[in-house]
Chain A
Amino acid sequence: MPLFRCNTCQGTYRSPQSDGAIYFHACPPTPNPLFQPDTAKPLPDARETLERPNKRDENFVPGTLATTPAIIAAGAGRTQTGP
């Protein structure tokens, strides 16, 4: 269960997981410091979060599994930080 750190968002994750399944990391959006989430509204305002620059998304591009699987976005890559 190698431990990885995403070089874009600095999040850490294990892949494969304890059951052997691959985990597909995708960077979370970043909070918008100028637009706090308003709990008085029933649904969030899209401006409350910002798409992370150079986002990493390890999910496969739809339709590529049967041929040559490709991840959606490599971002800044990842670094293995533990066994």
Chain B
Amino acid sequence: METPNVKPAEIITKPPKVSFSTQGIPAPSPLYVTEIDSLTLNANSLPFAGATTFTVRARLLRADGTITPFEKILATTTGSGALNIPLAEGFLLSLSVLVSSVGGASPVGQVYIQVHLTRGFPNPTLITMLISDYANANYLATWPGGRFAQAQQGRGNIRAIVGTDPAAGAEISESVPAQTRWRLIAIFAQLTTSITVATRTVSWVLDDGVNTYWRAISFGTQGASLTQSYEAGTFGSSGIQGNTLSMEGLPYPCWMTSTFRIRTLTTNLQAGDNWGPPTYLVEEWVNA
């Protein structure tokens, strides 16, 4: 029996239109560094951030073609500190900073970091900035591909604070902590008056620790043996409700920074009159 004249099977592969070099390839990074260069991490946090650890991870493409990953850790008790990382010669391929706090993932807005490329030690010259952003355990600050943000940019950390309950006869006075910028949104407090007959008039006052720049006088007054509520907020209106709640409009936006205070000033405050603790809502940023 004769075999039909059939050609042997052959593999037909469409060749790719693009070809790649496998040797002498330029490094996929614009950042060539040498032994006299360093990475400098500066961490700034809101003062209540507490113990915070910063893990810097990077990859370096060395002259022999090998990729060297490395990791350095900065452990702080306050969330603020600095770390210098000497480099070897090569191309910096990637860089990231992981933030971990003792209390778990801190909300965005509490820990602000910057990483600079610097040269020289111990007084390094700043060459360029690689990272400038807020970060936490769920959000890595990275280069390349990250965003550049100033400490006061974007949404801040939202926090409700219960202030000091003053002794009888004392006023309310709450101050902005160090290294912090607040946008005060609202504040509420109650005044309980003694049996001493007098007409009390309450003012909310904003100052920078010394100079007063804003005051709002309540619409109503308060006599003896009464408990009345006073609030101020950026809701843009003032008034009185049911003779027991006085509302004042704060400046909008109500920016405050370290040493600034919000306090009460009560005309005819008696020794037995007693302010309760104020409760207030702020949006806050690291003031770095």
Contacts and interface: CB of A to CB of B under 8 A. Distances in A.
A51 to B, nearest CB: 10
B103 interface: yes
Residue in A6, A24, A61 with the greatest tally of chain B CB atoms within 10 Å: A24
B228 interface: no
A14 to B, nearest CB: 7
Contacts, number: 125
Contact size range, B: 35 or more
A65 to B, nearest CB: 4
Interface in A15-43: 16-31, 36-39, 42-43
B162 interface: yes
B167 A11 contact: yes
B165 A13 contact: yes
Contact of B81 (A17, A39, A60, A66): A66
A44 interface: yes
Interface stretch (B13-21, B244-252, B258-266): B258-266
Chain A interface, DSSP helix/strand/loop, else mixed: loop
A2 to B, nearest CB: 13
A24 to B, nearest CB: 5
B281 to A, nearest CB: 12
Given A6-B164, A13-B277, A19-B159, A69 B78 contact: yes
Given A59-B175, A59-B177, A65-B44, A20 B167 contact: no
A60 B47 contact: yes
A40 to B, nearest CB: 9
Contacts of A23: 48, 161-163
A28 B159 contact: no
Interface in B158-187: 159-167, 169-175, 177-179
A18 B265 CA distance: 28
B80 interface: yes
Interface in B44-96: 44-45, 47-48, 50, 76-82
B258 A59 contact: yes
Which 6 A-B pairs rank lowest in CB-CB distance, beginning with the nearest?
A28-B173, A10-B167, A22-B48, A65-B80, A21-B48, A11-B164
